[in-house]
Amino acid sequence: MSDSYSVRPLITAQQIEERIDVLADQINDHFEGTEKLVVVGLLRGSFVFIADLVRRLDLPVEVDFIEASSYGNETESSREVRILKDLRSPIEGRDVLVVEDIVDTGHTLKHVLRLLATHKPNRLEVCALLSKPSRREVEIRARWTGFEIPDEFVVGYGIDYAQRNRNLPYIGAVEFGGD
């Protein structure tokens, strides 16, 4: 993989903000009256998204994280998903919202959802910021998706390429061999 690349803006910070407003409204409506919603972020890519999303939730919220390995430093998905950091909160009988940065092949989320389901949550839903439908290998039910994007490698707003560019306030597509 080339070390030299440029980032072409794809989704602006304002577009992200407006979309999160809409998603948060829908999530607030969906979970209205919940005793507690455990929001489970998938590290590390979801950390910016989850921070913006939970601040718009008008519900009793608890925040927890899971880390699952997927890409390493490559852009090819490994089908083998390992849990590197498990949940701290008990979720049995709880409403759970899994927050993911990107659903690509779907393997990561499928694995995580199967694991969480064994803890017998009351409701288990997914909110993904981005989805690449053309890349899907296993079916995933994400009740909420921010943006559907084409098959491009993206960075920014928490999402990295080899640990870089997480701090970009917008989402951009990586152009290899650029500048």
Binding site for Mg ion (CB under 5 A): 45, 101
E strand or H helix at 99, and its extent?
A: strand 95-103
Q: Which does residue 105 bind out of ligand IMP, Mg ion, none, counting CB within 5 to 8 angstroms by kind?
A: ligand IMP
Stretch that binds ligand IMP, among 5-13, 26-34, 87-95, 101-109 (CB under 6 A): 101-109
**Using an 8 Å Cβ cutoff, are 97 and 37 in contact?**
yes
Rule CB under 6 A: say whether 108 interacts with ligand IMP.
yes
E strand or H helix at 54, and its extent?
A: helix 47-54
E strand or H helix at 117, and its extent?
A: helix 107-117
E strand or H helix at 29, and its extent?
A: helix 13-30
Q: From CA 59, how far away is CA 48, in angstroms rounded?
A: 19
Does residue 64 have an active-site annotation? no
Stretch that binds ligand IMP, among 4-12, 19-27, 28-36, 94-102 (CB under 6 A): 94-102
Strand pairing class (37-43; 61-69) = parallel
Which residue from 54, 104, 127, 165 is in contact with ligand IMP, where contact means CB under 6 A? Answer: 104
Rule CB under 6 A: say whether 145 interacts with ligand IMP.
no
Residue numbers at the binding site for ligand IMP (CB under 6 A) = 42, 45, 70-71, 77, 100-109, 153-154, 159
Mind telling me the catalytic residues? 104
